Every structure is written in structure tokens, then in C-alpha cells.
Structure 1
């Protein structure tokens, strides 16, 4: 089966690939398939978007490839879809524009791309039972700062904040926008330490109210931590890790926690 240009139309599309995936790893992942061509999709910076199109020899190869849907490549679940040559050509052609629009989708605290100076991102759309380790695995190719993940205690919010060791890693994190965690598409937005701090403090107040109404435990014994590994400790309540802030954020030019509480 070919399209009007004579191109083989036995095509599958893979999504959710680690950004460093090589052709040899695609061959290993689609073991048993006769592969004619692999086309990785890249953004306008030449970096992988986590997708590729694979041209196969026959419909039987397409069926075999589809059987690998949601199988693991490294630590990532990979989605495998049926596709065609026209979709492959159109996706590659439009990919730069599509990624540009996605990366410009940001929140009110961070509307100007040129002003983004803090290596913090906000994730939206996390599965209900997501934990800190799931977020770390999602960004397994990137360098997250020590104690750099905060998931609000109200899990139904489906959000998380992640601090990276530098802006290069934070910029790469934006390329994970609309990739999968479990069976959910994850949206990624530029953020700031201040925005993450608000989430941490909301958790602190909520936990204080819960403890005041439910027990006589001394809430003051809870230790606030930090987002980004700046000389703080992890807070813990009810089995959920809550990452807060240290008093020293001079490295990023942010106000201290004491100033926020004053």
C-alpha cells in the first residue's frame, strides 16, 4: 500500500520517547518488525519532542508494532499508533510551529518568555495517585535540584512544581509538554519560586487546620523544607512529601521565607 507519491504507507507513530532515544533503540523496542525508515520529530531547537514515525514493510509489521503499545522503553511508557505517510509528512512540517505555540502557553505570573529567569516549572494533569518519584521518573533525562519536587497535598489538583539545577534543564523540561505520565498528558508551564511558594504555604495552612481540628499534635514541630535543595529539610504529613522553602534563596535573588511570613 502506497500513497499518491509512491511512499510506503505502513507507518506507525511512537510517542513518549526519552529525548535521547536513538534509532537502534527503536529497532530493539519494535523487535520482530521489519523497519524501513525512522523519522524523529524535533522542535525548532533541533531537540527531540519524544515522538517518531516508523515506516514498516507490511500490514503485519504494523500489527506487531501496535502490540507494543504502552510497553516500556527505558523507564517510559511508549504509545504506538497507526499512522500514514501523509500524517508523518504533515507532523514533521508543522512540528516547529506546534511546539512554539505549546511553549508559549504560560501562566499569569510568567507571561513574558524573556523574563523567565528561575529554573522552576509547573506541571498540570498529573494522575490522581502521582508521587514525587513519578515526577522524577518523568524527567529522568534531566537534572532536578535536590528536594526540587513539590506536589500539593490536595492530590485532586493534579499539579506539581519542579525546580531544576539550571535554566538549561528547565528549558528542556518544556519540551516534555504534552508527553505522558501513565495514561495522562502532562502540561508544563514556566513558573517561579514565588508561585511555588504560594502552593507550599497553602499546604502548610491546610495541614495546620487539619491538625488543629483532628488531634492535639504540635503542628509547630513540622519542619518546612525547600524547593531546590537550599539548606532545608523535607516536610512530611500523612505520608505525603511536602517540599517547602529554605530561608536562604540568595542564589536566585528571591525573598526569604521569613519575609513572606511577615
Structure 2
């Protein structure tokens, strides 16, 4: 399984070159993933994206051990060629920390995913809430309007992935809104309009389940919040 490419930055020409290289060599291209070490313990996905500014990131997986962040992460890039550019950031700083960047392999990345999912199943308290909830607590008491906000989506996720995540419900692509930033890139959030408030409340049982390697958080929302978030990316 190769992560789906969603971002383009002059990508059409590069993609054609990528395909030609694949055909000419007769070998599958190397999996474009790097491993980072020495990350600050309050590091966020936005920090990693900024560290690799200019590169196309498909997924970021923070590594935990016994429920604690290890300071390591895997970063999947859009093209094998971008791995070389990512390695040039080795020992550059993120805040006060200098970050080590290593070449990695597909098996290591998927092994880390398996470990994270296994760790979650064991019920480690600190892994049950991988992102701070702050003012989002108390979802059970919030009135449902038929709209849910998703947080923590893989950057490569599309509307079809959201439909599959909520496969027990009748959803159309027109009712799924992936939030983009001013650069047209996914923020990792999406809004989903269900057929009824009862359906959105029922769908909350999928809160903190995984989509690919990521834990998805769900929050009741409303049309005003959804419209404001969508308009920011326009």
C-alpha cells in the first residue's frame, strides 16, 4: 500500500518523471520515508511541516513507547527524490533542538504503525488521547446538529477515505468538507454532514478509532463553525 498523493507543487512534471524512472529501471521505486530523532516533546505536526518546508508530506507518525512520546517520528514524502532533500535537513534546528534525519524503510514505517495500534488496543491511558482536548471535552452534553468535526486526518486522506471511515452511514462526497489552509493543503480536519442529528450522535462511537496510522477525534459541530473553517481555506 502506497500513501495517496494529494498535494502538488509543480507536481505534474515530477510525477511524469517518477513514472518514467519506474518504467525504465524495471524496479519498484524506494518507499519515500525518513525517520526523525531528537524532536521536542511538545512537537506538533505543524512543526514538522515547517521543518520540511517546501517538501510534500503525506503522513507524519509520532513514535511512542509505553504511552510516552519518544522524540522520534516517521515522515512519508510524496516522491522518492524528496528523501534526498529531507536528508539535507539533518542536524538543523527545530527551536533549540537540532534534529537528526535518517533514511528509513517501508517495513520500519509500517512496523511503527503496528506498534502504535497495538499500544492503543492495550488501553494505555496516555495513548487514548493523543491530542489535547482542551475545551473540546464534554461532547456527550453537546447538542447534535447532524455535523461532526474530524481531527487528526492523514494529510493524504480524501473524501473516499472519510466515507469508508463512516461506512455504516449513507454519506455523499458533497457532504464531506476537508479543511484546507491558505496554501491549499489539508489541515488534518474535516466536517461531515450526516442525514440527521441521530446519525451524527451514533457516529460518535467511532471517536478515537484509526484511519490508516492516525487516531481520529470526533466532535459535534454546527453549520456556523463548519462554514467559518471552510471559508478560511478559500
Length-normalised TM-score, structure 2? 0.42
TM-score scaled by structure 1? 0.38
Larger radius of gyration: 1
Structure with the bigger RCO (C-alpha within 8 Å, sep 6+) is: 2
